[in-house]
Structure 1
């Protein structure tokens, strides 16, 4: 079952072939974690969604308030008997069905889908191999569009396929200046001594929700410093740790990049602080 424009329908519902999200990738989405029925970081998700709609010049309906969309998420959770459980929710926005590159109207659709998760807090990552490499076939051009979760994520898809073909667990993406900006499915953090770096939004990385949370946690820590700055591929092999973050998995330490292997001491320390905050 899904929530389509406020109506609960079967998840076999088929969208029109004229749908602009399907035809052109003319849409955006938010992926949200539910913990024991509570929407984590909902205010941050909502304001990023509204900002993303403005960047994409999607007219925001007057009824798209924070309370309205929260109620629509909860409506689906209740229908699926997940209102007191853990779940992954995706809200997708598209610009309707009509027009070529120029829309014929300003229709706005929203859909909400969810699936259950087996954990409440962010779990401690196992110590299994998590190897990454650079994806050099395509580069991300920095700008407002690179900072949002639009429905057009071709570089991330191609990099994920490349990782699978090469027995890697993930790939790191580069911008057009050849700086490292993120992984295929999350933001990147680099640890060297007590300094923690993460790529700047201006370099083209996603304006991640958990990225924002972790930067706040690190800033209030007396053990670490945090810096939003450009990261060159050369720095990866000089780092003590690398880890990837997103709101669903939390923190995923990287164990190996090329010939360099990493520990995860700082990542686990920050993960403990994150779970305490939640």
Structure 2
């Protein structure tokens, strides 16, 4: 089932108007979340990121868009699924209501909530190959808009097509200063010895929920140091380990970049701590 503005409808009957502003102008923001064991992982962080994104895009936040209301709507949608106790990927999409061209007639919003099954009830590391390459056809701009989860994802789409055509599992995106910003579907972390780096938000990377959680976890581990610092492409082949993070998959170790192959030692140490924090969130 899909929740359209509070009304539950079957997936094959869920439709939006042809003049939908998310469809026509990318005038929409979204959150993708993991649901398992009766709870939404890191729900509070997702909620406040959504509210901040809506404010930045000058959307009118409805009075009833409280954390409790949206959580109840998500849970109500999940409980209509055939496998109520399954693990789900939840997508909460909010768009500005129809009307106008580039200048909207209203800042009021509509929303949808959809879900799809996931295979595992918690984050796991897979043994699958994850060979990456740089995507250099287009660049992310170093602006606050780049840190938001909006419907403007053409660079990610084109990068994903490039990866598929060249048999890479993922690509890394660069900003206009030729600094490594993020992967196609998540933030990146580089490990050299006990030093861990991830690009700063000022470089244009997504303000990722898992990024935030892992930074907090690593800061409590005296055996590691963590810094948010710009990453040059030349650093990739010098690193001992690289991994990608997102709210659905958790930690995805990179196995190869060009001639360099990587270990996943640090990822194995961090994963149980991340799963514990997710369950307690």
Give the TM-score, by structure 2 length.
0.96
Q: Distance in 2 between matches of 1:129 and 1:10?
A: 36
SS in 2 for 1:237: helix
1:116 maps to: 117
2:266 maps to: 266
2:80 pairs with 1:75: no
SS in 2 for 1:133: strand
1:94 maps to: 95
* CA displacement 1:221-269 (0-9 Å, x = unmatched): 1210100010000000110000000011111000111111111101111
Q: Distance in 2 between matches of 1:186 and 1:124?
A: 15
SS in 1 for 2:136: strand
Q: Distance in 2 between matches of 1:5 and 1:213?
A: 30
Q: Distance in 2 between matches of 1:83 and 1:211?
A: 29
Q: Distance in 1 between matches of 2:37 and 2:125?
A: 18
Decide whether the 8 Å contact of 1:36 with 1:83 is kept in 2.
Answer: no
The range that moved more, 83-92 or 139-148, is: 83-92
2:192 pairs with 1:187: no
2:225 pairs with 1:236: no
* Paired residues for 1:28-177 under 5 Å: 28-126=29-127, 128-177=128-177
Runs of 5+ unmatched residues, structure 1: none
Q: Distance in 2 between matches of 1:7 and 1:25?
A: 23
SS in 2 for 1:79: coil
* CA displacement 1:21-53 (0-9 Å, x = unmatched): 000110010000001121110000000000000
SS in 1 for 2:76: helix
Runs of 5+ unmatched residues, structure 2: none
* CA displacement 1:114-148 (0-9 Å, x = unmatched): 0121211101221x321000000000001111001
Question: 1:272 Cα deviation (Å)?
Answer: 2.0
Alpha-carbon RMSD across the aligned residues, in angstroms, is 1.0
Q: Number of aligned residue pairs: give it.
A: 277
Give the TM-score, by structure 1 length.
0.97
Decide whether the 8 Å contact of 1:125 with 1:251 is kept in 2.
Answer: no
* CA displacement 1:63-102 (0-9 Å, x = unmatched): 1000000000011011114543311100000001111000
Q: Distance in 2 between matches of 1:51 and 1:83?
A: 31
Q: Distance in 1 between matches of 2:145 and 2:83?
A: 33
